[in-house]
Amino acid sequence: MDRIRPFVPKMFRREIFNNLHALSHPGVRASLKMVAERYVWPSMRQDVVLWARTCLQCQRAKIRSSLRLTTDQRTQFEASLFDALSKFLGTEKRHTTTYHLAANGQVERFHRQLKAARMAHGNAQWTIVLPTVLMGFRATWKEDLQATTVEMIYGAPIRLPGEFL
């Protein structure tokens, strides 16, 4: 770390985590990086790992997103056995273009993250939540870029709501 980070007293640690994690509900590593580059406290890694893994909104989003099944229109996915299994499990079947791999590529990965973040915010009006979620995405560390999206564009990290406490 090349900048001075404030020490967070025990009574504020969970609130700091909640403010940063609630932006877009990133995974454990991204949450840890987001917190660690802005703050410092003993046992930060253990705290953030525990809180990220036990986030109820993230758990609910994982369950809800698994209730939808996106497939192409190949015959094995259209068989009566598959239909019966989908009906039994209560999954919603969705189709993409047949034999078109790009239909489930990088865009689908982003959509999965976007849907999970939206669901993690509960029943909040989506148009209100979207700017917060996008800010969280842009401030989340990207392993392939070795930077956040904001750092790639502006050359410096942005200040997030949790930093104003």
Please list, residue by residue across 78-111, b when 16 or more beta carbons sit within 10 angstroms of its beta carbon and e when fewer do: eeeeeeeeeeeeeeeeeeeeeeeeeeeeeeeeee
Mean pLDDT per segment of 10 residues, for the chain of length 165 residues?
Answer: 86 94 90 94 96 87 64 60 71 65 66 83 83 88 86 84 70
pLDDT score at 69: 65
Q: At what angle do helices 28-36 and 44-53 cross, to 10 degrees?
A: 140
- For the entire predicted model, the pTM comes to 0.51
- Quick count: other Cβ atoms within 10 Å of Cβ 150? 17
